[in-house]
Amino acid sequence: MRQKRKSLPESIILENSKSIQNYINNKINLVSPCKIGYFSPFENEPIISFDSKHQIYLPKIEDKVLEFYEESPKMQKNKYGIDEPSNSNKIDLAKLDIILVPFLAFNKNLYRVGFGGGFYDKTLCRLSNLTKRPKIWGVGFSFQLTKENFQENLDVRLDKIITEQHIYE
């Protein structure tokens, strides 16, 4: 899946990202501002842009989990080559309204496979005991759907998965 996504032409990435963005915009109540945990698109992951009334927070790897920081124009690459914000405006995960999560593959049971570091699963596990927590939506492309049931005990089930063709709930 990783190679297939990396080989997608930029025009397809942009076109499919626009469709995903339309689904997201229709699902978010655009009347009220949201605090959105997003990701820095890496290796042809979907590129989503948000209305300026929303506050965007991007992940940084800290102690083998992700912490989310306010989006900033100045970014720095981590050891995996992924852009991270360089500011110190961290937000408590529970204060986010939505966390958008990338994946390499997903199934209809709303589980995802990432790059194998477990950063998102370890991070999202911290939310499982909260009564009020952010919505957790996977974001990717329809070709990444697999019939395999690969989930393990530590994997976190997503609330939705949004592709350019469908929303899985």
Q: pLDDT tens for residues 4-33? A: 999 999 999 999 999 999 988 887 755 578
- Mean local confidence (pLDDT), 67-88: 91
- Mean local confidence (pLDDT), 65-94: 92
Strands 98-101 and 135-139, sheet pairing: parallel
Residue 156 pLDDT more than 90? no
Residue 2's pLDDT is: 87
Residue 30's pLDDT is: 55
- Mean local confidence (pLDDT), 119-147: 91
What CATH code would you report for 2-168? 3.40.50.10420
Q: Structure tokens of 102?
A: 């990338």
Exposed e or buried b for every residue in 81-90, given b needs 16+ CB within 10 A? Answer: ebebbeeeee
pLDDT digit string, tens, across residues 129-138: 788 899 999 9
CA distance 80 to 89: 22
Exposed e or buried b for every residue in 93-108, given b needs 16+ CB within 10 A? Answer: beebbbbbbbbbbbbe
Say what the pTM is.
Answer: 0.92
**CB proximity list for 103: less than 8 A, separation 6 or greater:** 112, 113, 114, 138, 139, 140, 144, 161
In 3D, which of 25, 47, 53 has the Cα closest to residue 141? 47
